[in-house]
Amino acid sequence: MAVPARFEFFLDQSRCIGCKSCVQACSECDTHKGESMIHLEYIDRAHSVQTVPVVCMHCEEPTCAEVCPADAIKRTGDGVVQSARKPRCIACGNCVMACPFGVPELYIDRAIMMKCDLCYDRTSVGKRPMCATVCPSQALFYGTREQLATLRPQSTPVNEFRFGAQRITTRVHVLVPRARPPALVDVTAALDDATQPRAVRLPVLRDAPDPFADVEV
Protein backbone atom coordinates (compact mmCIF):
# COMPACT_ATOMS: atom_id res chain seq x y z
CA MET A 1 0.00 0.00 0.00
CA ALA A 2 1.09 3.58 -0.56
CA VAL A 3 -0.01 6.90 0.84
CA PRO A 4 -2.52 8.32 -1.65
CA ALA A 5 -0.96 11.32 -3.41
CA ARG A 6 -4.10 13.42 -3.06
CA PHE A 7 -3.70 13.55 0.73
CA GLU A 8 -1.16 16.09 1.86
CA PHE A 9 0.07 17.41 5.19
CA PHE A 10 -0.23 21.14 5.91
CA LEU A 11 1.21 22.98 8.92
CA ASP A 12 -0.25 26.29 10.10
CA GLN A 13 1.85 27.45 13.05
CA SER A 14 -0.35 30.49 13.59
CA ARG A 15 -3.11 28.17 14.75
CA CYS A 16 -1.00 26.24 17.26
CA ILE A 17 -2.14 26.55 20.88
CA GLY A 18 0.69 24.52 22.39
CA CYS A 19 -1.60 21.87 23.88
CA LYS A 20 0.72 19.00 22.89
CA SER A 21 -2.15 16.81 21.83
CA CYS A 22 -0.06 15.89 18.77
CA VAL A 23 2.91 14.99 20.95
CA GLN A 24 0.77 12.83 23.24
CA ALA A 25 -1.04 11.16 20.34
CA CYS A 26 2.13 10.47 18.38
CA SER A 27 3.38 8.15 21.12
CA GLU A 28 0.18 6.12 20.74
CA CYS A 29 0.85 5.34 17.09
CA ASP A 30 1.59 1.68 16.61
CA THR A 31 5.02 1.99 15.01
CA HIS A 32 6.44 4.63 17.36
CA LYS A 33 7.26 2.30 20.26
CA GLY A 34 5.63 4.53 22.84
CA GLU A 35 7.71 7.56 21.87
CA SER A 36 6.60 10.82 20.35
CA MET A 37 8.23 11.78 17.06
CA ILE A 38 6.92 15.36 17.24
CA HIS A 39 8.73 18.32 18.73
CA LEU A 40 6.65 21.14 20.10
CA GLU A 41 8.37 24.08 21.73
CA TYR A 42 7.62 27.55 22.92
CA ILE A 43 9.59 29.99 20.80
CA ASP A 44 10.16 32.25 23.81
CA ARG A 45 7.72 31.59 26.63
CA ALA A 46 8.94 34.59 28.58
CA HIS A 47 7.42 36.85 25.95
CA SER A 48 4.74 34.89 24.12
CA VAL A 49 2.59 31.78 24.24
CA GLN A 50 3.55 31.08 20.59
CA THR A 51 4.49 27.45 20.10
CA VAL A 52 5.71 25.63 17.03
CA PRO A 53 4.99 22.01 16.23
CA VAL A 54 7.62 20.26 14.15
CA VAL A 55 6.88 17.08 12.22
CA CYS A 56 9.14 15.52 9.61
CA MET A 57 8.85 17.61 6.46
CA HIS A 58 9.53 14.56 4.24
CA CYS A 59 12.06 16.21 1.94
CA GLU A 60 12.27 15.29 -1.73
CA GLU A 61 16.02 14.91 -1.25
CA PRO A 62 16.29 14.10 2.44
CA THR A 63 19.50 15.37 4.01
CA CYS A 64 19.18 12.77 6.77
CA ALA A 65 19.31 9.96 4.21
CA GLU A 66 22.10 11.62 2.23
CA VAL A 67 24.42 11.81 5.23
CA CYS A 68 23.59 8.33 6.56
CA PRO A 69 26.74 6.15 6.31
CA ALA A 70 24.69 2.96 6.68
CA ASP A 71 21.99 3.77 4.14
CA ALA A 72 19.44 3.16 6.88
CA ILE A 73 16.97 5.91 5.94
CA LYS A 74 14.73 5.21 2.97
CA ARG A 75 12.34 7.43 1.08
CA THR A 76 9.44 5.38 -0.21
CA GLY A 77 7.97 5.82 -3.66
CA ASP A 78 5.09 7.85 -2.25
CA GLY A 79 7.50 10.44 -0.88
CA VAL A 80 7.58 9.41 2.77
CA VAL A 81 10.97 9.43 4.48
CA GLN A 82 10.96 6.46 6.82
CA SER A 83 12.42 6.05 10.28
CA ALA A 84 15.86 4.36 10.40
CA ARG A 85 15.85 0.67 9.57
CA LYS A 86 16.77 -1.47 12.48
CA PRO A 87 19.57 -3.76 11.27
CA ARG A 88 21.28 -0.97 9.35
CA CYS A 89 21.17 2.01 11.72
CA ILE A 90 24.41 2.33 13.70
CA ALA A 91 23.07 5.15 15.87
CA CYS A 92 25.88 7.47 14.76
CA GLY A 93 23.65 10.55 14.91
CA ASN A 94 24.75 12.01 11.56
CA CYS A 95 21.12 12.48 10.57
CA VAL A 96 20.34 14.24 13.84
CA MET A 97 23.12 16.74 13.17
CA ALA A 98 22.33 17.20 9.50
CA CYS A 99 18.55 17.59 9.34
CA PRO A 100 17.87 21.28 8.77
CA PHE A 101 14.49 21.01 10.51
CA GLY A 102 15.88 19.25 13.61
CA VAL A 103 13.57 16.27 13.32
CA PRO A 104 15.44 12.95 13.82
CA GLU A 105 16.14 11.86 17.36
CA LEU A 106 18.60 9.29 18.64
CA TYR A 107 17.36 6.72 21.16
CA ILE A 108 20.59 5.67 22.84
CA ASP A 109 18.92 2.91 24.89
CA ARG A 110 17.68 1.24 21.72
CA ALA A 111 20.68 2.29 19.61
CA ILE A 112 18.48 3.62 16.84
CA MET A 113 17.27 6.86 15.29
CA MET A 114 13.52 7.29 15.16
CA LYS A 115 11.57 10.03 13.43
CA CYS A 116 8.13 10.87 12.13
CA ASP A 117 7.17 8.46 9.36
CA LEU A 118 3.85 10.19 8.56
CA CYS A 119 2.18 7.38 10.56
CA TYR A 120 2.91 5.12 7.62
CA ASP A 121 0.91 2.27 9.09
CA ARG A 122 -2.12 4.58 9.10
CA THR A 123 -1.63 6.79 6.06
CA SER A 124 -0.69 3.92 3.74
CA VAL A 125 -4.11 2.39 4.37
CA GLY A 126 -5.98 5.64 3.82
CA LYS A 127 -6.23 6.88 7.41
CA ARG A 128 -5.00 10.24 8.61
CA PRO A 129 -1.84 10.50 10.74
CA MET A 130 -2.54 10.47 14.46
CA CYS A 131 -1.29 14.03 15.14
CA ALA A 132 -3.31 15.75 12.43
CA THR A 133 -6.40 13.72 13.32
CA VAL A 134 -6.43 14.82 16.95
CA CYS A 135 -5.02 18.37 16.66
CA PRO A 136 -7.69 20.55 18.34
CA SER A 137 -6.69 23.72 16.52
CA GLN A 138 -6.04 21.95 13.19
CA ALA A 139 -2.64 23.64 13.05
CA LEU A 140 -1.73 20.20 11.73
CA PHE A 141 -4.05 19.50 8.82
CA TYR A 142 -4.09 16.41 6.62
CA GLY A 143 -6.36 16.48 3.61
CA THR A 144 -6.76 17.28 -0.02
CA ARG A 145 -6.07 20.50 -1.94
CA GLU A 146 -9.80 20.87 -2.49
CA GLN A 147 -10.47 20.71 1.24
CA LEU A 148 -7.69 23.21 1.85
CA ALA A 149 -9.14 25.65 -0.66
CA THR A 150 -12.53 25.51 1.06
CA LEU A 151 -11.33 25.53 4.65
CA ARG A 152 -8.38 27.93 4.45
CA PRO A 153 -9.22 30.68 1.97
CA GLN A 154 -6.80 33.09 3.66
CA SER A 155 -3.85 30.74 3.46
CA THR A 156 -1.67 29.29 0.77
CA PRO A 157 0.82 26.40 1.00
CA VAL A 158 4.58 26.70 0.54
CA ASN A 159 6.98 23.77 0.41
CA GLU A 160 10.28 25.42 -0.55
CA PHE A 161 12.79 26.27 2.14
CA ARG A 162 16.24 27.81 2.05
CA PHE A 163 18.94 27.20 4.64
CA GLY A 164 21.93 29.26 3.49
CA ALA A 165 22.99 27.73 0.20
CA GLN A 166 20.77 24.70 0.59
CA ARG A 167 17.30 24.70 -0.99
CA ILE A 168 14.86 22.06 0.08
CA THR A 169 11.53 20.97 -1.32
CA THR A 170 9.29 19.00 0.99
CA ARG A 171 6.21 16.78 0.84
CA VAL A 172 4.78 18.60 3.88
CA HIS A 173 3.59 22.16 3.30
CA VAL A 174 3.62 25.20 5.55
CA LEU A 175 0.62 27.54 5.31
CA VAL A 176 1.41 31.22 4.81
CA PRO A 177 -0.90 34.22 4.37
CA ARG A 178 -2.47 34.24 0.91
CA ALA A 179 -2.34 38.04 0.92
CA ARG A 180 1.48 38.14 0.83
CA PRO A 181 2.86 34.68 0.22
CA PRO A 182 6.64 34.29 0.10
CA ALA A 183 7.94 32.15 -2.77
CA LEU A 184 9.94 30.20 -0.25
CA VAL A 185 10.69 30.23 3.43
CA ASP A 186 14.19 31.55 3.98
CA VAL A 187 14.93 30.03 7.36
CA THR A 188 18.51 31.18 7.82
CA ALA A 189 17.71 34.73 6.71
CA ALA A 190 15.06 34.84 9.41
CA LEU A 191 17.70 33.79 11.90
CA ASP A 192 20.17 36.42 10.71
CA ASP A 193 17.80 39.36 10.81
CA ALA A 194 17.94 41.56 13.83
CA THR A 195 14.97 40.08 15.66
CA GLN A 196 12.08 42.28 16.58
CA PRO A 197 11.18 42.49 20.23
CA ARG A 198 8.97 39.52 20.79
CA ALA A 199 6.31 41.25 22.83
CA VAL A 200 2.92 40.13 21.62
CA ARG A 201 1.50 42.65 19.26
CA LEU A 202 -2.17 42.91 18.66
CA PRO A 203 -4.01 45.23 16.30
CA VAL A 204 -5.46 47.49 18.96
CA LEU A 205 -2.01 48.07 20.28
CA ARG A 206 -0.37 48.75 16.94
CA ASP A 207 1.34 51.86 18.25
CA ALA A 208 2.06 50.36 21.67
CA PRO A 209 3.48 46.85 21.45
CA ASP A 210 3.09 46.21 25.17
CA PRO A 211 -0.61 45.73 25.91
CA PHE A 212 0.10 46.31 29.56
CA ALA A 213 2.19 49.46 29.15
CA ASP A 214 -0.22 51.53 31.25
CA VAL A 215 -0.52 49.04 34.09
CA GLU A 216 1.14 50.21 37.27
CA VAL A 217 2.91 47.76 39.53
Partner 1 sequence: MATIPVDELEIIRAFGPHRSAKVRGTTSDEPEKLVKTHCCFCGQQCGIQLKVRHNEVIGFEPWEEFPFNRGMLCPKGVKRYLQGSHPDRLTTALARDPSSASGFRALPYERAIAQAAERIAAIQKAHGNGAVAVLSGASLTTEKTYLLGKFARVCLKTPYIDYNGRLCMVSAGAANKKAFGIDRVTSPWSDMIGTEVIWVAGSNVAECSPITTDYIWQARELGAKVIVQDPRITPIARTCDLYLPVRPGRDAALFAGVLNLLIEKDQIDHAFIDAHTAGFDAVAAYCREWPLERTSDVTGVPKRALEQAAELWGTAKSSFLFHARGIEHHSNGVQNALGTINLVLATGRIGKANSGYGTIVGQANGQGGREHGQKCDQLPGLRDISNPEHRKYIASVWGIAPEEIPGPGVDAYELFRKIDAGEIKALIAICINPKISLPDNQFIARALDKLELFCAIDFFLSDTARHADLVLPGSLQEEDEGVVAQVEARVIKINKAVDCPGEARQDWRIIQDLARALGREKGFTFADARAIFDELRIASKGGVADYSGMTYEKIEKQMGVFWPCYSHDPKTGEPTPDHPGTPRLFEPDSYNPIAKGAGPFYFPDGKARFNVADYRPAVDDVSAEYPIFLTTGRVVSQFLSGNQTRRIGPLVDQYPEPRLELHPRLAGKLGIADGDWTTCETRRGAITVRAQVVTTIRPDTVFVPYHWGGDKSINRVTVAAQDPISKIPQYKVCGCRVRKADGAPAYAARLEPQQ
Site string for partner 1, 185-214 (x = CB under 8 A): --------------xx-xxxx----xxx-x
CB of 103 within 8 A of CB of 11? no
Of residues 54 and 70, the one with the C-beta less far from partner 1: 54
Dihedral sign from CA coordinates of 187, 10, 145, 26: positive
Site for partner 1 in 116-155 (CB under 8 A): 128, 130, 133-138, 151-155
CA distance 29 to 92: 25
Q: In whole angstroms, how large is the CA radius of gyration of the chain? A: 19
Site for partner 1 in 29-68 (CB under 8 A): 29-30, 32-34, 45-51
Q: Is 81 in the site for partner 1 (CB under 8 A)?
A: no
CA distance 202 to 92: 45
CA distance 98 to 86: 20
**Nearest distance from residue 18's CB to partner 1, in Å?**
6
Q: Which residues bind partner 1 (CB under 8 A)?
A: 14-21, 23-25, 27-30, 32-34, 45-51, 128, 130, 133-138, 151-155, 199-200, 202-205, 210-212, 214-217
